[in-house]
Chains A and B, each alone.
Chain A
Amino acid sequence: MWFRKDRAPKEPREKRSKVPEGLWVKCESCREILYNKELARNFKICTKCGYHFRLSAPERLRMLFDDEKYVELEVGLRSVDPLRFRDSKRYRDRLKNAEENVGTSEAIRIGTGTMGGIPVLIGAMEFFFLGGSMGSVVGEKVTRAAERALVESKPLIIVSTSGGARMQEGILSLMQMAKISAALSRLAEARIPYISVMTDPTTGGVTASYAMLGDVNVAEPNALIGFAGPRVIEQTIRQTLPEGFQRSEFLLEHGMLDFVVDRTEMKETLVRCLELLWRAA
């Protein structure tokens, strides 16, 4: 959960999000020491255990767009502090710190370009920015992306990773779920494809709105995906959760995903889906 990140010292986060700076990096899953360049060549997947390292939004967009080229949209949108929210820290300060530490202004980036030669819009969420939480700006960016996809008649792909709605914007965050779902409804009526890609972790209000509304719902292996977080469920039912619960493979088994695909094959699989579903025969 993102609120833990705030407490964590800065160093491990840098190591994780800016892997190329160090020569070696330790796999978070199997503890294997990996040569960084090789890791980068392998889509940031551990060469030993197959663990998918979390990607930043720009890494994700470069991975999906042809020749790693895209134009970022809606870059001028910034969060405000509508509730003047303050817990142990002020929301404004949290935003400022996140922007400085992560080097991005919000928890999602929207890009336009081509994927496998098909003009598309892609949104990639940024888990390292306040846990990928969805506030007004995330909601506005996704909604604008959906509206643009409708106007330009381009498929929309959103790669999610989020702890859910952003508490510091209160009810306004919750309403983003309604706003985005309404925009996706229009896209669906216009028969323009929307593909949802879920990565580790995707929970809460993001799962309960756009992440589950894809014409095709896809996930990376072993990603945590759910509505309630595992700790909340454990506290509610007072028993330990079964092994593999709320992981991609579990969701696939329960009929919630179309398929689970390795990051190495993500792009070509998405392109194939779009070609088979949407492109003129």
Chain B
Amino acid sequence: MRVQAAGPVPATIPEPAPADSSSREDTRRRPKADRVATIPLVNGEDGQFEEPILRLRRRIEELEALPEDAGHRKEIERTREKLERVSREIYASLTPWQKTLVARHPARPYTLDYIGALMTEFVELHGDRTFADDPAVVAGVGRFRGRPVAVVGHQKGRDTKEKVRRNFGMPRPEGFRKALRVMRLAEKFDRPILSFVDTAGAYPGIDAEERGQAEAIAVNLRAMSAFRVPIVVTVTGEGGSGGALALGLGDRVLMLEHAIYSVISPEGCAAILWKDAARKKEAAEALRLTAGDLKELGIIDEIIPEPPGGAHADPEGAAAAVAEAIERHLKDTSDLTGEERRERRYRKFRAMGRHEEQPNE
């Protein structure tokens, strides 16, 4: 079900590192984006579409390894131009299934990468004060463009050990409750909330059920609908059903160009409705899970364009676009009073859905 990484991938955004030591490993300096992005998206036939891009990146790497001379420099220049053109072309016409793979790309920037890039200060806050600290969710307070904010988000791991520790970004109830606790702090101290959504879904496990996975999600939805402080949500990768929505109810919901957001994974949907998980591509089409689809359906407010070749090819570029969009929307919604925001947020979600109405019989 999960996309396998080809190997350990260091994190993307070099600095500043979050204040907390346990999260520092997620934001280690990594080599050039070009190098990291030669990691295959996914092995096998499904990943074929990225092959031309990878070939060009490998070519650039080879050329850069050669001794300096004017001929090489020119060749590198030309190859880079070609890389950008080819990336742009390929990424302009991704199918929904390909977007699903990109959204799950092992080198895609995660929440802590965005925090590292967007925040000038950050203090991570841990624990739900009831049971445990769930590493699949990060939460804390930080400073974004001079303004103190609260941040919550799903967190996937980079290397194998970190993936396991973060439970592949699939929260247990305590993760949702930690996020809620920090959002309540934001409400108490009048700080806007920035939320980053990137999860395959809430963890389907025995312990999660025992501790009330459904209740935790439901309570977050109810609470987020009623906060007076601004909430700006950004879907950065996978928006996996209830586990995503539990951090996803906001005044503004933004979505990266190649992120997905769906009621169920294409694999899950195919297994149930087609009785064959292999029909995931058809399911991905049918579910209308791309940013373009969601904009059309009135679920999201804005699509944040990604750099050519996707966010993982240029994490700094992606972070800059995310920062710009968040700041703009934050400014917009900050002009309202708390009551106005609540009312508008209510009306925003109240209008979601499609039905027809016949006169009462």
Q: What residues of chain A have their CB less than 8 Å away from a CB belonging to chain B?
A: 1, 3, 75-80, 82-83, 85-88, 135-137, 139-140, 143, 165-179, 181-186, 188-189, 204-205, 207-213, 226-228, 232-233, 236-237, 241-242, 245-246, 254-256
Contacts and interface: CB of A to CB of B under 8 A. Distances in A.
A85 B219 CA distance: 31
Contact of A254 (B203, B210, B264, B360): B210
12 contacts: A75-B360, A76-B357, A78-B355, A87-B286, A165-B241, A172-B297, A178-B249, A178-B349, A204-B242, A213-B218, A226-B214, A233-B206
Given A88-B274, A178-B352, A213-B219, A208 B288 contact: no
Contacts of A1: 272
A208 B214 contact: yes
Interface in B107-159: none
A237 B205 contact: yes
A82 B288 CA distance: 10
B226 interface: yes
Given A140-B355, A204-B242, 9 more contacts: A171-B263, A171-B287, A175-B245, A179-B352, A186-B346, A189-B226, A212-B215, A213-B222, A255-B212
Contact of B222 (A82, A174, A184): A184
Interface in B155-181: none
A255 B216 CA distance: 13
A184 B224 CA distance: 12
B32 interface: no
Contacts of A137: 353, 355
Given A88-B274, A136-B353, A179-B353, A228 B204 contact: yes
Contact of B225 (A3, A140, A182, A227): A182
Contacts of B297: 82, 170-172
Nearest to A174: B263
A167 B349 contact: no
Contacts of B193: none
B42 interface: no
Given A171-B297, A174-B242, A185 B226 contact: yes
Which 4 pairs, one residue from A and one from B, show the smallest C-beta to C-beta distance?
A: A228-B204, A136-B353, A182-B225, A181-B221
B350 interface: yes
Interface in B253-293: 261-264, 268-269, 272-275, 282-283, 286-289, 293
B339 to A, nearest CB: 12
A172 B354 CA distance: 8
B208 interface: yes
A227 B222 contact: no
